Structure 1
Amino acid sequence: MLLRLPFSLFLMPVFWFGLSALREPFSWGRALGAFAVLHLLVYPASNGYNSYYDRDEGSIGGLAAPPKVTPELLTLVRLFDALALGGALLLGWRFAVLVVVYLLVSKAYSYEGIRLKKYPLLSTAVVVVFQGAFTFLMAQVGVGAGPGALFEKTNLLLALVSSLFLCGSYPLTQIYQHQEDARRGDRTLSLRLGIRGTFIFAAGGLLAGTLLMGFTYWQRGEVQNLLIFLLATGPVVALFSRWAWLAWHDPALANFTWTMRMNQVSSVCLSVAFIGMLALGQR
């Protein structure tokens, strides 16, 4: 349960975004393999490791009432790490190297001897880069994209867009954990910003990402992709606006239930948008 497999699926949009940005054909078999490695092995291993060292007593991502941590959890995490590396190697050594880097960084985030999570700006930068642009490019490597596609200017701009979206959404995932984080001495970005500041920061990051996305799609001659994005994410904007308005007047509503609802709706809507772009581009 502490591997939080359903919560891992909230990270799907970055994977689909990376694939939708590719202009060259790719193997759907490789795509399925890369998806399985990341979402069924890498992310659950990272979640489990985070849970082992955090030992949360209150709600955490995907779990309203997390169970007690046992030593067996760390054994299971190591098994998932090994399976992730084995699966990644089947898709190529470059993908495997990126998977190893991601696993190591995710452990540094929580490991008590390093615990990047204690440092609000550094931990935010790590999450924004590695769950955003790094994962965007890692997904592309997983399906066999070469250096030409990876380092093409507009592809790198879209990778930056994914990090801007993470920059906006990441503090929202911390907004209900202020008491828990303060108890452990983790000065997260959301805790530093406060509830109102978190919503303002999130709106700024998401708006910046959308503007850069629009510019990049215009540069690529793919304005239809921006229209798909705006149409599909309408429910996200509506939900975010309502939640921000309610929590602004009643901070108690910056809670686990609203956060998970926001994660679920945004994950589904963003995935629909990027899968739609992918289907349009692969015709």
Structure 2
Amino acid sequence: MPVFFFALSFVKDTNIPDTILAFIIIHLLLYPASNGYNSYMDRDTDSIGGIKSPMQPTIELFYTTIIMDAAAIILSFFIGWWFTAALLTYIVCSRLYSYRRIRLKRFPFIGYITVILNQGALMFAMVYYAAESIGDSQVPLIPLIAASFLIGGFYPITQIYQHVTDKEDGVQTISMLLGKRGTFILCGIMYAIALTLLFIQYWSTNNINSFFILQLFFVPVVFYFLKWVVNVWKDEKEANFKNTMRMNTLASSCTNLAFITLTILKHLG
């Protein structure tokens, strides 16, 4: 959702019906189907995502993901062929990421790149294409790249408490490869690059006030992140499910509010 509102904040002339439809397709069909399929393939028994004690998936879950994907594809045609093509790309990459016989998530770099490109750049482009009323309007390149770095700074944190479970499943994530401390360092670097790109974008478009507004919303996230880093440096057991979910909730909420605020201010201006 943060990437959705991030992309929306750069749209100059918003197509309201297509924007609403894209939101429904992405958040009520595409993402749940992707997560459901991943859960079906993983069959996690320990904490995963926002669920501390996940139920074991059934074949009904698999069929449900297929139905949701089909519904997303059908609805996507109402937005346009490019949106449909991007949606299909996302679905295919998501399945390759989780499918047992291929399972891109087994490979730290390939899996990581797959996630940040699809959930970052591709998703940004999808939303921008759907929301922009001007058909020939080009997707802004710097924010598109920044979207991938934002995801790149967030995603490894979600893996930091799953090292044992992932190892038992034959998966080596980027977080496992770097270790818990290395994961925090990577995330800090990726966020720093993303913020630098955003500074360049807003500065070059004479909209530097938007950058400073973002920083106001990011203060709680940075504060919690640094506090968590200090705690993990003292005791790596602090990189657990509970603290990860707190970070997840705080970062998602603040980022959503930041980009929603920028979107509202853009229209008011």
1:42/1:80 contact within 8 Å kept: yes
Structure 1 counterpart of 2:144, one-letter code = A
Match of 1:165 in 2: 150
Gaps of 5+ in 2: none
Secondary structure at the counterpart of residue 212 of structure 2 = helix
TM score, norm. by length of structure 1: 0.92
Task: Tell me how far apart the structure 1 counterparts of residues 246 and 135 of structure 2 sit (CA, whole Å).
Answer: 38
Residues paired across the two proteins, number: 268
5 Å-filtered alignment, 1:216-231, equals: 216-231=201-216
Distance of aligned partners of 1:191 and 1:147 in 2 relative to their CA distance in 1, 3 Å threshold: farther
Match of 2:124 in 1: 136
Secondary structure at the counterpart of residue 203 of structure 1 = helix
2:15/2:130 contact within 8 Å kept: no
> Is it true that 1:50 corresponds to 2:38 in the alignment?
yes
Secondary structure at the counterpart of residue 282 of structure 1 = helix
Match of 2:137 in 1: 149
Secondary structure at the counterpart of residue 30 of structure 1 = helix
2:157/2:187 contact within 8 Å kept: yes
1:175/1:190 contact within 8 Å kept: yes
2:13/2:134 contact within 8 Å kept: no
Task: Tell me how far apart the structure 2 counterparts of residues 119 and 30 of structure 1 sit (CA, whole Å).
Answer: 36
User: Deviation of residue 150 (structure 1)?
Assistant: 2.6
Structure 2 counterpart of 1:57, one-letter code = T
User: Deviation of residue 280 (structure 1)?
Assistant: 1.3
Distance of aligned partners of 1:180 and 1:278 in 2 relative to their CA distance in 1, 3 Å threshold: same
> Is it true that 1:41 corresponds to 2:29 in the alignment?
yes
Secondary structure at the counterpart of residue 137 of structure 2 = helix
Match of 1:257 in 2: 242
1:106 to 85, 94, 102: 94
1:58/1:66 contact within 8 Å kept: yes
Task: Tell me how far apart the structure 2 counterparts of residues 208 and 141 of structure 1 sit (CA, whole Å).
Answer: 25
Match of 1:6 in 2: none
Distance of aligned partners of 1:145 and 1:250 in 2 relative to their CA distance in 1, 3 Å threshold: farther
> Is it true that 1:278 corresponds to 2:267 in the alignment?
no
Match of 2:114 in 1: 126
5 Å-filtered alignment, 1:222-241, equals: 222-241=207-226
Task: Tell me how far apart the structure 1 counterparts of residues 197 and 136 of structure 2 sit (CA, whole Å).
Answer: 22
Secondary structure at the counterpart of residue 50 of structure 2 = coil
2:3/2:123 contact within 8 Å kept: yes
Task: Tell me how far apart the structure 2 counterparts of residues 202 and 141 of structure 1 sit (CA, whole Å).
Answer: 28
User: Deviation of residue 149 (structure 1)?
Assistant: 2.8
Gaps of 5+ in 1: 1-11
User: Deviation of residue 82 (structure 1)?
Assistant: 1.0
Task: Tell me how far apart the structure 2 counterparts of residues 81 and 183 of structure 1 sit (CA, whole Å).
Answer: 30
Structure 1 counterpart of 2:124, one-letter code = F
Match of 2:178 in 1: 193
2:198/2:211 contact within 8 Å kept: yes
1:15/1:136 contact within 8 Å kept: yes
2:15/2:133 contact within 8 Å kept: no
Task: Tell me how far apart the structure 1 counterparts of residues 130 and 171 of structure 2 sit (CA, whole Å).
Answer: 34
Secondary structure at the counterpart of residue 87 of structure 1 = helix
User: Deviation of residue 148 (structure 1)?
Assistant: 4.5
What's the % identity of the aligned pairs?
38
2:214/2:258 contact within 8 Å kept: yes
Give the alignment's Cα RMSD to 1 decimal.
Answer: 1.2
